[in-house]
C-alpha cells in the first residue's frame, strides 16, 4: 500500500521550467515535455523529434487525455500540479471526483554507476477518490514507433514477450545496424524500446494502429487481437505498443507501474571497437535487466527519495533559486553521456555535445561539467579522462597540446574538430591543455587516488611545458567559448593557464613551476587591471568578462589571486548584469549559464544569490521551450542555440566549493 502524497507538497520544483524531464538516460534515450502541461504537446527528444506517448484515463465511463496529443474525442484532464525532483517528475490531475498522479521516475543515482546506467524508467499511476464516492477508473498508455527511428519513413516491427511475472512489448526499426550513423541532432534507429508490466497488476497489452488502440479504450472494449502487419513504416497507420488497466481509488491505493526501457544493443565505438552499454557489459541481456528492474523498484525509489531530499536540502541551504537551478540540471547532465566497459575492464564514459556539433568526449565539455562529477562521484571524471589520456599519449596525437575531442558521437575514433589530427587549425591549445591539468589535480584531490595519473606523467609534462611557453598571454586562438570567435590576449584564458601550471606543480612537486605560476599571477593583476574591474583582453581598456577560471584557484586554495581580485570582479558583475544575468563579456548580451554560476560560486552568500537570482528568473520567463540551455540572451531571455548539454552540471560549483572536497588529500 502506498500513501498518497500530493504533488504540490513534495520537495521539488513546482514553478515553470523551460522543459520538463520525462525519460532521461543517454543522448538517445532522452525525452522531454517542452511545455507546462503533459497534454500541451507530444513528448519530444531533445532534438525536437516527436516521441509520441499517449495517456488516456476513463472515469466512470468518460474518457480524458492526460498525456500527449492523441486525436481522440476526449477532453484534456485538468492538470493541477507538477513537481520535479532530481530523479522524478510527478503530474497531478483532478476531475469528476477523482485525482490521478503520474510519476516519471529514473533512478539516476550518480554515486552508483551500476544503477545509474540502467536504461529503465518507471511510469507509475495512482488514483484516489476526492469526493468520498466509489469510482471506476481505467488508464491507457501507448508508445509509437517514433521512439525507434530517425525518420518516420523507416520500417518498424513490434513483438510481445512473456517473462517471469512480467509481460513485455518491444518495438524496433528494421534493416538497420547498431552505431550506423553519427552526428549531432540525430535520434537512434537501432536497438529496441521496451514497455513492461507486472502480470499481477492486471494490465492488458496491445499492438495496434494508434487510432484503433485509443478508440478501443474510449469505447471500453479491450482489443481481442494484435495488428501483425509488420514490418511497416512508423507513419503507416502509426503502430503503437501499449497497456491498459484499472486503478483503485481508495485513499491508500497501490501504484501500478509500467517499466519503459531502451536497449541500444551497442552503445559506443571506441577506436574501432564496438562496445556494449555498461549495464550489459556481462551480456546479461534485456530480459535480465527488466527482471532486476522489477525486483528493485521499491529499493531504487527509497534510495532516490533519500537522495532527492538530501540534494534539495543542500541546495536549499543556499537559496530557493539555487534549488531550482540545481534540481533542473541534475538529470540533464547525466543523460548526455554514454557509459561502457572497455575490453580491459576499464569503465569509460563519454559526453555528447548535444546541439553544439555532436562531438564525443570533448575536453571543454568535460571541464565545465566537472563540478558535477567531483561532487557526486569522482569516478565519473576518471572514466572520461581515461580515454582522453590514452589517446593523447598514443602515436595518433602528435601535437604538444591536449586534444579537443575523440570523434563524433557515438564513435570515439579520434579528433574531428578543427584540424583534427592533421593541423593546428582551429585547435584550442591553451584551453584544452590547461583544462586537463586542472582536472588531473581535481580528480586526485577528490578521490585520493595517486596511482591513476602515473602512466601519463610525460603527457602531462608536455602540456605544462606548452603552457609555460604560450599560457600567460595567449595568441590569437579559440577557447571554449568558440562561438565568440578567435581572441588574442584573453585574460580569462591566461588565468586558466596560470592555475593549471600551479596544479601541475603540485602533482609533480616542481617548485620552479610553482614559483612561475605565482609570478604570473602578480603580473596578471597589473596587466589586466582596468579601474573597478579587470579586462577581457590585456590590450583593450574598457572591456570586461566573466573570470570564471578564478574558481579553480579558489577551489584548490592556492591563493594565487588575492580575495580582492575576486570581490572586485563579482561586485562589478552585479553592477552590469541584465534582467536575466551577467553577459559573458562586454561584446554581446548573451551569457553562459555554467560560467555565470562558476563566477557566482566564488562569492559570499549575498554575492552568489544576487548573481544567480536572474538565472532562476530566466528559467521561469524564457520563451525558449527547450531543455536547460547554457547559452542565452540576458535581455531577451532567448536560447542562443545550445541546450540539453552536460555542461549544465557546472551549476554544482557552489556545492562543490562549499563541500571543501578539493582542499582534501593535499
Q: What is the mean pLDDT of residues 559-587?
A: 98
Query: Which three three-digit cell numbers place residue 647?
Result: 555542461
pLDDT at 61 over 80: yes
pLDDT in the model for residue 4: 65
Q: How many domains does the chain have?
A: 2
Is residue 272 included in any domain, yes or no?
no
Residues 578 and 530 in one domain: yes
- Element spanning 364, H or E: helix 363-376
Is residue 147 included in any domain, yes or no?
yes
- Look over the chain and give the mean of its residue pLDDT values, rounded to a whole number: 97
Whole-angstrom distance, CA of residue 194 vs CA of residue 192: 6
| CB half-sphere exposure, 651, CA atoms < 13 A | 28
Is residue 312 included in any domain, yes or no?
no
Task: Using alpha carbons, list the distances in angstroms from residue 354 to 28, 334, 530.
Answer: 10, 12, 37
Model confidence at 136, in pLDDT bands (50, 70, 90)?
very high
Residues 299 and 322 in one domain: no
Q: What is the CATH number of the domain that holds 199?
A: 2.70.98
Query: Which three three-digit cell numbers place residue 52?
Result: 509520441
Q: What share of the chain is helix, strand, coil (3-state, %, to 5)?
A: 35, 25, 40
Least-confidence region, from 64-73, 199-208, 439-448: 64-73
pLDDT in the model for residue 8: 65
> At residue 648, what are phi and psi to the nearest 5 degrees?
-65, -15
Q: What is the mean pLDDT of residues 62-78?
A: 94
Would you list the DSSP string of 483-508?
GG--BSSBHHHHHHHHHHHHHHHHHH
Task: Using alpha carbons, list the distances in angstroms from residue 552 to 363, 548, 566, 602, 618.
Answer: 16, 9, 12, 9, 26
Judged by DSSP in three states, 513 sits in: helix
pLDDT in the model for residue 547: 99
Q: What is the mean pLDDT of residues 619-624?
A: 98
Is residue 529 included in any domain, yes or no?
yes
Whole-angstrom distance, CA of residue 360 vs CA of residue 416: 9
Residues 83 and 106 in one domain: yes
Phi-psi label, residue 204: left if phi above 0, alpha if psi -120 to 50, beta otherwise: beta
How does strand 239-247 pair with strand 137-144?
antiparallel
**Sign, Cα dihedral of 646, 651, 655, 656:** positive
Whole-angstrom distance, CA of residue 623 vs CA of residue 18: 8
Residues 83 and 126 in one domain: yes
Residues 192 and 105 in one domain: yes
Whole-angstrom distance, CA of residue 269 vs CA of residue 412: 6
Residues 362 and 493 in one domain: yes
pLDDT in the model for residue 251: 58
> At residue 544, what are phi and psi to the nearest 5 degrees?
-155, 165
Residue 126 belongs to domain spanning? 7-265+277-305
Query: Which three three-digit cell numbers place residue 662?
Result: 578539493
Least-confidence region, from 6-10, 120-124, 594-598: 6-10
Whole-angstrom distance, CA of residue 82 vs CA of residue 596: 28
308-352 pLDDT per residue, tens: 999 999 999 999 999 999 999 999 999 999 999 999 999 999 999
Whole-angstrom distance, CA of residue 281 vs CA of residue 403: 28
CA dihedral 70, 73, 74, 75 (to 10 degrees): 90
Q: Calculate ∠ Cα 493-356-490, nearest 5°.
A: 15
Query: Which three three-digit cell numbers place residue 456?
Result: 601519463
Write down how long the chain is.
666
Residues 606 and 508 in one domain: yes
Whole-angstrom distance, CA of residue 17 vs CA of residue 89: 12
Residues 378 and 342 in one domain: yes
Would you list the DSSP string of 581-623?
B--SBTT-SEEEHHHHHHHHHTS-HHHHHHHHHHHHHHHHH-S
Residues 414 and 491 in one domain: yes
Residues 294 and 352 in one domain: no
Q: What is the mean pLDDT of residues 391-413?
A: 98
Beta bridge partners of 261: 120, 194
Is residue 1 included in any domain, yes or no?
no
Q: Nearest CA to 189 among 145, 230, 232, 236?
A: 145
Q: What is the mean pLDDT of residues 108-112?
A: 98
Judged by DSSP in three states, 84 sits in: strand
Return all residues near 642 (Cβ < 8 A) that are at least 6 apart.
354, 355, 356, 483, 629, 630, 631
Whole-angstrom distance, CA of residue 547 vs CA of residue 196: 50
Residues 360 and 252 in one domain: no
Q: What is the CATH number of the domain that holds 607?
A: 1.50.10.10
Taking the chain, what is the end-to-end CA distance rounded to the nearest angstrom? Answer: 50
Burial, 144: exposed, middle or buried (Cβ in 10 Å; 0-12, 13-18, 19+)? buried
Residues 89 and 223 in one domain: yes
Model confidence at 1, in pLDDT bands (50, 70, 90)?
very low
Is residue 336 included in any domain, yes or no?
yes
Q: How many CB atoms lie within 10 A of CB 450?
A: 10
Return all residues near 446 (Cβ < 8 A) that are at least 6 apart.
374, 378, 381, 661, 662, 664, 665
pLDDT at 483 over 50: yes
| Percent of the chain residues past pLDDT 90, beyond the cut | 95
Whole-angstrom distance, CA of residue 17 vs CA of residue 620: 6
Q: How many CB atoms lie within 10 A of CB 616?
A: 21
Q: Nearest CA to 97 among 135, 62, 124, 61?
A: 135
Return all residues near 255 (Cβ < 8 A) that are at least 6 apart.
2, 103, 124, 125, 126
Number of helices and strands (H, E) in the chain? 15, 25
Return all residues near 142 (Cβ < 8 A) that are at least 6 apart.
53, 54, 206, 210, 213, 214, 240, 241, 242, 243
233-261 pLDDT per residue, tens: 999 999 999 999 999 987 555 799 999 99
pLDDT at 568 over 80: yes
DSSP collapsed to 3 states, 403-452:
CCCCCECCEECCCCCCCCCCCCCCCCHHHHHHHHHHHHHHHHHHHCCCCC
Is residue 347 included in any domain, yes or no?
yes
252-300 pLDDT per residue, tens: 557 999 999 999 999 999 999 999 999 999 999 999 999 999 999 999 9
CA dihedral 316, 321, 322, 325 (to 10 degrees): 130
Is residue 536 included in any domain, yes or no?
yes
Amino acid at each position: 500500500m502506498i500513501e498518497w502524497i500530493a504533488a504540490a507538497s513534495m520537495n521539488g520544483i513546482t514553478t515553470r521550467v523551460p522543459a520538463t524531464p520525462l525519460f532521461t538516460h543517454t543522448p538517445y534515450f532522452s525525452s522531454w515535455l517542452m511545455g507546462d502541461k503533459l497534454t500541451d504537446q507530444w513528448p519530444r527528444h531533445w532534438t525536437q523529434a516527436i516521441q509520441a506517448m499517449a495517456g488516456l484515463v476513463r472515469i466512470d465511463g468518460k474518457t480524458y487525455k492526460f498525456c500527449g496529443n492523441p486525436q481522440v474525442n476526449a477532453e484534456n484532464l485538468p492538470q493541477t500540479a507538477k513537481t520535479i525532483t532530481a530523479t522524478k517528475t510527478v503530474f497531478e490531475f483532478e476531475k469528476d471526483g477523482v485525482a490521478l498522479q503520474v510519476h516519471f521516475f529514473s533512478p539516476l543515482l550518480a554515486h552508483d554507476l551500476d544503477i545509474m546506467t540502467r536504461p529503465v524508467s518507471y511510469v507509475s499511476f495512482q488514483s484516489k477518490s476526492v469526493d468520498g464516492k466509489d469510482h471506476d477508473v481505467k488508464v491507457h498508455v501507448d508508445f509509437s514507433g517514433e521512439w525507434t527511428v530517425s525518420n518516420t519513413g523507416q520500417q518498424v516491427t513490434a513483438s510481445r514477450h512473456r517473462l517471469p511475472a512480467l509481460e513485455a512489448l518491444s518495438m524496433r526499426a528494421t534493416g538497420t545496424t547498431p552505431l550506423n550513423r553519427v552526428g549531432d541532432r540525430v535520434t537512434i534507429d537501432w536497438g529496441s524500446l521496451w514497455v513492461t508490466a507486472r502480470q499481477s497488476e492486471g494490465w492488458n497489452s496491445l499492438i495496434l494502429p494508434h487510432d484503433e488502440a485509443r478508440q478501443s479504450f474510449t469505447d471500453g472494449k479491450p482489443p481481442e487481437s494484435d495488428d501483425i502487419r509488420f514490418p511497416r513504416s512508423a507513419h503507416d497507420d502509426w503502430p503503437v505498443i501499449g497497456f491498459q488497466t484499472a486503478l483503485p481509488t481508495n485513499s491508500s491505493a497501490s501504484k501500478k507501474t509500467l517499466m519503459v526501457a531502451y536497449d541500444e544493443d551497442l552503445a559506443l565505438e571506441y577506436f574501432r571497437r564496438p562496445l556494449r552499454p555498461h549495464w550489459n557489459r556481462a551480456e546479461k541481456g534485456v530480459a535480465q535487466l527488466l527482471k532486476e528492474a522489477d525486483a528493485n523498484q521499491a529499493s531504487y525509489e527509497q534510495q532516490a527519495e533519500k537522495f532527492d531530499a538530501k540534494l534539495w536540502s543542500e541546495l536549499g541551504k543556499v537559496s530557493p533559486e539555487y534549488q531550482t537551478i540545481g534540481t533542473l540540471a541534475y538529470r540533464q547532465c547525466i543523460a548526455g553521456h554514454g557509459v561502457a566497459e572497455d575490453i580491459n575492464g576499464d569503465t569509460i564514459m563519454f559526453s555528447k555535445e548535444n546541439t553544439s556539433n555532436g562531438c564525443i568526449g570533448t575536453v571543454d565539455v568535460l571541464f565545465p561539467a566537472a563540478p558535477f562529477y567531483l561532487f557526486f562521484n569522482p569516478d565519473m571524471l576518471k572514466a572520461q579522462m581515461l580515454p582522453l589520456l590514452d589517446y593523447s599519449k598514443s602515436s595518433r596525437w602528435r601535437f604538444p597540446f591536449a586534444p579537443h575531442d575523440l570523434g563524433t558521437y557515438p564513435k570515439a575514433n579520434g579528433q574531428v574538430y578543427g584540424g583534427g589530427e592533421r593541423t593546428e587549425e582551429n585547435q584550442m591549445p591553451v584551453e584544452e591543455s590547461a583544462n586537463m591539468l586542472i582536472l588531473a589535480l581535481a580528480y586526485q584531490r577528490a578521490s585520493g587516488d595517486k596511482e591513476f595519473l602515473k602512466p601519463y606523467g610525460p603527457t602531462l609534462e608536455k602540456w605544462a611545458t606548452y603552457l609555460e611557453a604560450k599560457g600567460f598571454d595567449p595568441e590569437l586562438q579559440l577557447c571554449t567559448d568558440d562561438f565568440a570567435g578567435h581572441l588574442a590576449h584573453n585574460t580569462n584564458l591566461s588565468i586558466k593557464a596560470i592555475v593549471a601550471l600551479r596544479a601541475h606543480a603540485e602533482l609533480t612537486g616542481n617548485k620552479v613551476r610553482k614559483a612561475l605560476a605565482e609570478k604570473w599571477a602578480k603580473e596578471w593583476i597589473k596587466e589586466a587591471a582596468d579601474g573597478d574591474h579587470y579586462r577581457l583582453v590585456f590590450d583593450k581598456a574598457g572591456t570586461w568578462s566573466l573570470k570564471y577560471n578564478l574558481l579553480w584557484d579558489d577551489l584548490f586554495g592556492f591563493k594565487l589571486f588575492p580575495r580582492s581580485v575576486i570581490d572586485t570582479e563579482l561586485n562589478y558583475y552585479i553592477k552590469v548584469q541584465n534582467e536575466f544575468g551577467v553577459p559573458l563579456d562586454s561584446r554581446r548580451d548573451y551569457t553562459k549559464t555554467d560560467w555565470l554560476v562558476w563566477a557566482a560560486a566564488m562569492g559570499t552568500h549575498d554575492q552568489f544569490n544576487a548573481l544567480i537570482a536572474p538565472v532562476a528568473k530566466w528559467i521561469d520567463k524564457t520563451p525558449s521551450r527547450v531543455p536547460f540551455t547554457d547559452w542565452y540572451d540576458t535581455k531577451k531571455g532567448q536560447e542562443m542555440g545550445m541546450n540539453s548539454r552536460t555542461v549544465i552540471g557546472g551549476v554544482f560549483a557552489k556545492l562543490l566549493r562549499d563541500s571543501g572536497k578539493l582542499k582534501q588529500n593535499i
